[in-house]
Structure 1
Amino acid sequence: MKKINLEPPLRFSEFHQEYRTGSFLKFGSFYYGKSAPKWSLSEDAKTPCVRYGELYSTFSGEVDSIRSYTNIPKEKLKFSSGGEVLIPRVGENPLDFSKASYLPLKDIAIGEMISVYETEENGRYITQYIRGKLTKKFARVVEGGNVSNLYFRYLEPIEIALPSLNEQKKVADLFDKLDKKINLLKKKYDLLERYKKGAMQKIFKQDIRFKDENGSDFPNWTTERIDYFIERYNNPVDVDPNESYRQIGIRSHGKGVFHKESIQGHELGDKRVFWVHPDAFVVNIVFAWEHAVAKTSKDEKGFIASHRFPMFLPKDSRVDLRFFTLFFLSKRGKYLLELASPGGAGRNKTLGQSNFAELKVTFPCLEEQKRIADFNDSLEEKLETVKKQIELTKTFKKGLLQQMFV
């Protein structure tokens, strides 16, 4: 096998051996997975399997546990020996074909549409190599060959460069630790998110109550119409045809405010637009029934909104808008928004603003509202911290992938 002097930009200091080069076929061999289609999966099935869709949606480089079981007869399946590299054979995006996963487990049925690579090299290393360095190469094979299936005959001639097995293991172990850290952070994020969701549900059912600063109970929650708590905010824009404006939009499913591209005043035509208040409750009247509500912030200062995004401010300091927004992101809040949005599905279910004003809600006193909103904010901060840790670790790993492979 040909040897040339190759070395990655970043390498463990104890290794100096030359890299070996050759095709995938020279370092191992391929076969295809078999059967295990989606319709064969069931809770009663006994045979563990890996399906090609899971390489995209479930696993991030290693099959760490089995999620699927098939009832296909065993004689019609292909089973792992442990140590294989699984490469998806089909995909919608050419960049997806490099989403390989290492399979360390034995006797797992490998589904169709998966190319299985067997090698005496380190499978974990090969997997990270594919995911980190071969994404564009795999994509070029797919695009250049105008193929929708990345058959392993297209993979066999691809050239790779490998260090010694000892070095492969050390590099693979490093990435294994990073992947485990990412997975632990993801689990922490999911647990926090579930805890937050469950806690807020109990709060709005009044199963959980807060105490005041003296440890005493707050007053009972009271029922009032919406227009007792808030009032409409209107600040029309005198549009200058030659001025640039930025508009906001509100995403459905409680995903908050987004900013649209800049637009010239003359492009607005006769549209009625209003200055956005930087601390208001805002609703998309077309998709209110789909949880298209949010609270604006200083990030929206200087932005405008059309008449389809009415804004509301507290009336006589009777409500904390953070709490108010949280309520309308709850199940009860969604039900009331649907109630105030008569009509058929989609754009015909427009929020009636008089209907909205007349809705009756049961709220705690202002001080307890603030306690609830502060509690939610603290959980949001924790979630954001974990999310940043995940992104930083992913970025660190991505940088290493670019530096530690040839």
Structure 2
Amino acid sequence: MASPKLRFKEFDGNWLAATLENLAEVERGKFSVRPRNDPRYFGGEMPFVQTGDVTGSDVYLKGYSQTLNTDGIRVSKVFPADTILITIAANIGDTTITKYPVACPDSVVAIQPKREKANTIFLKNIIDLQKDNLDSQATQNAQKNINLQVLKPLELIVPSKEEQTKIASFLSAVDEKINLLTQKHELLSQYKQGMMQKLFSQQIRFKAEDGSEFGEWKQSLLGQNCHITTGKLDANAMNANGKYRFYTCAKNYFYIDNFAFDTEALLISGNGAHVGYIHYYKGKFNAYQRTYVLDGWEHNIQYVKYYLDKYLKIRINSEKKEGNTPYIVLSTLNEMPFQIPTFEEQTKIANFLSAIDQKIEVVAQQIAQAKQWKKGLLQQMFV
């Protein structure tokens, strides 16, 4: 039928079409208990892998948030190691491979390659290339989903088992490089968090340029050190061709036709999935009505941002009532305890943490570039 642009020289001949069910056993997970969170079925030793666990993994399953006991296993379905898991609801088409037996609910499908026909890593990668195709076939009810009637007849173009294995070995080496970069990123992030803890608890102190000790930190409230207000606009104000930035409760920003602020400020998402996320911006902008704008600082604003990065989420969670979605009211910010070293020490702390952030960003870019390079390889190595 066809052959890829990029190929190992010892192989030739066309790749052939095969359905997913011809290459693997395709079974839906199961968890028949209602309500789903009935505690009688949880707390054992069997990993219970759900859509979020799959989405949060890489090539191999990173972990799981729940386990099933013996009763839970009876009402679920267990799949062996070396099974490809694919999400069929919410984030459709995310995949990972198991290294140990797991149980799954019906929002996850287990794909067990037939050993004589398919290599697991090869099959995972070729399925990943079908993510957009699968998403386009999803039905929209309460949430998007697909079913076995979509997955089983999914047509894939594949080579011999020997060529699959060769490709899989090469891609595993690429994935290992990405994994090493990811580990480096995680270690740098952990190092930053550890240093923030030591710096803000004053276990570690900088010295002045002349070698002298800095003075005691002052204790204050956040609202006594800045002006706190909120934006006035709703999402309808967004304009793709607008001139000024418009900050919302999400991590990103949009554009708008007019501005309300012309200042150096920290902008804090007041509710939603990214509650407590902190933006820094200097210039003309506007803000969503549940985004807090903190300006008028006499402190090093980067120091303030790092301080809030460390303690704001803790304060938000301490105010959260059981069952409530976290959100910020004005008193959350106004009455938040705030520690103030001298401006010179603030600057040293901010510069130190900023240097770590720069290293983290370099590694993040290396990861993104490696993933993009792999994506380009896949497009050339697969039909």
Q: What TM-score comes out, normalization by structure 1 length? A: 0.69
Match of 2:303 among 323, 327, 337: 323
The structure richer in strand per residue is: 2
Q: Which AA in structure 2 matches 1:165? A: K
| Structure 2 residue 34 is matched with structure 1 residue 60 | no
| Structure 2 residue 42 is matched with structure 1 residue 41 | yes
Change in CA separation of 1:313 and 1:118 when aligned onto 2, cut-off 3 Å: closer
Q: What does residue 180 of structure 1 align with?
A: 176
Q: What does residue 130 of structure 1 align with?
A: 127
Q: What does residue 13 of structure 2 align with?
A: 17
Cα RMSD (Å): 4.2
Alpha carbons 1:245, 1:303 under 8 Å: kept:
no
Alpha carbons 1:55, 1:100 under 8 Å: kept:
no
Tell me, what secondary structure is at the counterpart of 1:185? Answer: helix
Distance 1:59 1:33 in 2: 18
Distance 1:25 1:335 in 2: 51
Residue pairs, 1:239-254, within 5 angstroms:
245-249=243-247, 251=249
Alpha carbons 1:286, 1:351 under 8 Å: kept:
no
Report the Cα offset of residue 53 of structure 1. Answer: 1.8
Q: What does residue 100 of structure 1 align with?
A: 95
Give deviations 1:106-141, integer Å, cap 9, x for gaps. Answer: xx1432422433312211111111012x22443354
Distance 1:104 1:56 in 2: 13
Q: Which AA in structure 2 matches 1:327? A: Y
Give deviations 1:287-323, integer Å, cap 9, x for gaps. Answer: 7xx64655424xxx35456997463143xxxx32222
Distance 1:137 1:154 in 2: 10
| Structure 2 residue 363 is matched with structure 1 residue 382 | no
Residue pairs, 1:300-319, within 5 angstroms:
301-303=283-285, 309=293, 311-314=295-298, 319=299
Match of 2:329 among 328, 339, 349: 349
Q: What TM-score comes out, normalization by structure 2 length? A: 0.73
Q: Which AA in structure 1 matches 2:302? A: R
Distance 1:389 1:346 in 2: 34
Q: How many residues align?
A: 349
Q: Which AA in structure 2 matches 1:46? A: E
Distance 2:189 2:99 in 1: 30
Q: What does residue 364 of structure 1 align with?
A: 341
Matched residues, percent identical? 22
Match of 1:166 among 162, 172, 181: 162
Q: What does residue 84 of structure 2 align with?
A: 85
Match of 1:205 among 192, 197, 201: 201
Change in CA separation of 1:147 and 1:347 when aligned onto 2, cut-off 3 Å: closer
Distance 2:332 2:97 in 1: 54
Q: What does residue 382 of structure 2 align with?
A: 405
Gaps of 5+ in 1: 233-243, 266-272, 340-344
Tell me, what secondary structure is at the counterpart of 1:195? Answer: helix
Change in CA separation of 1:10 and 1:50 when aligned onto 2, cut-off 3 Å: farther
Alpha carbons 1:247, 1:303 under 8 Å: kept:
yes
Alpha carbons 2:181, 2:366 under 8 Å: kept:
yes
Larger Rg: 1
Alpha carbons 1:222, 1:364 under 8 Å: kept:
yes
Tell me, what secondary structure is at the counterpart of 2:17? Answer: strand
Residue pairs, 1:112-151, within 5 angstroms:
112-113=105-106, 114-119=109-114, 120=116, 121-132=118-129, 134-143=130-139, 148-151=145-148
Distance 1:334 1:35 in 2: 35
Match of 1:262 among 246, 256, 264: 256
Distance 2:220 2:227 in 1: 14
